[in-house]
Structure 1
């Protein structure tokens, strides 16, 4: 049987470089990729309007079976997202026969006991140790995750993690190079029937070609019906009136004026359940691309990842935006600012600049 392929386009010659789908030599390789590159769990596929971002609590997280007892099991990865939702991840290769049914029972053991016997203090300590091994600072990582450096933001975040854990509001993720049909059906069934727990599969296929390597993640098992049920059964997004009413008073004037500018510039405002994204259509590929987000806590984000421009142009744009003295860098792709009266005028000047630059970049033909 021929292997699936993807192709890289040569930078100079008009040549396609074939890369063949190749199984992982060991499960540890797949686990290591998730540890080093958490975005392989595709947060934008899980929630396109509010992409999930990840913080690794611990790889090989021990799970006890009684209070103050020793660990009986070991979960491959424990992450949390920006809403403090504990995310249990178990990895298997397609060649492992346990991937079909045994892995589900295994994961349910982890969830049933972890939600009861883990304390938030333990998780925080594990996360601090993981950050130390990565030569990073945990508080900085959490600040980047939630997009806030307010004094009480860190403690409030861990309180949210604790609340979600104790209420069983968690996410179960099965990761493999190939999700078998039997496991996919179980994932869809559990996701449809469990209201507080999100259950998904992620295929992370590996492609090799010479010295090159590519990995491609794909979400499995999160049906639109299940997504709507977990959002409270409502498919109705918020709107401008509700959003403005929900804002802190010091942020309301900025966003009110932002919507006026966006309308004048024909920027697309796309409403989600909590906030909105700003989008623009690129002439180079006719793709409608999100480049900014607004949230009901008064934060405004500029997001680089989806912009269809060169790395040089992205670097120049980042430098120009930071020169306004308003944004804080919040991760690899995000600039963040909390809008208040002190930075209102500068933030509005910055947004007019953003609108101008997005129009210019979107008009560039391939």
Structure 2
């Protein structure tokens, strides 16, 4: 059996059609989209065609799409610029305790500038109650930033309900949709979302490129200053090859393709669970299995240290993770699992994240489950 990659929540392999599109773009279009000569006009035309394609996938206006370097830049731009622009109206911000570090650390930075941040709790299944959001809202709340789907346990947040709640409040609503964009139907205008950030490398596109959706209803100062690219909203020459690759990845995510992927991933999850049950392996599913992204499965195996399990799987050519790739290589425990269970719960050091994607099939999943069971038996023995 060849090496098996089950860490698609960290990053995804490039789709062959993405590689082809990027190669063609690099070979045929080298002009600067801001130049007014023939080469520049060709590049600009390609850029705007891509913008229309991506906007159509969200049912938004093309000029509401701002190309950038990915999810972290999108989160920073949305949060910092909104907070600074609206600080005269208030300096209270709301987020959750299980956000990606790109949101949490940005909020912590703003706290050093005098902003007050409310970190909303979740229950033991990682569920965020809309009532908790409503209770946290104040007159001086200017921004609510809540992820669409969690990157460690997969939980889907009540975005539609929060959007409806905020229609009666002037706070700007931002969502980090990096994990959800590849599988969920997301239409910001219908959901009441003002700002949405995502990243191409989570949907079989290239690393280092993404976009921020900014509603026309929101005034957002530029985060980067310099040239007048992206309608003066994000300075810097656009990465046209990367953006083209991202657009190709988006174009492959048709409604039927998303549905098919969800069905495949649910089947993979059921296969793993059945294998564990048949082998009488004790485990816990972290998060809410009935309301989550289909491609993420987070499991605790009591008495089995996750770092040891990871190492043994890796030695057998299987890649999974213990949580967010942005904290990989550190000894920091998962802040997501701490939010669910408390800081001293054994699940924090006994859990792994399995995430499915392009290239996985049932044969791989069956082999993975068999190897996982064998390793757990040996480690528990």
TM-score after normalising by structure 2:
0.30
Q: Which has the higher contact order (CA 8 A, sep 6+)?
A: 2
Structure showing the higher strand proportion among its residues: 1
Structure showing the higher helix proportion among its residues: 2
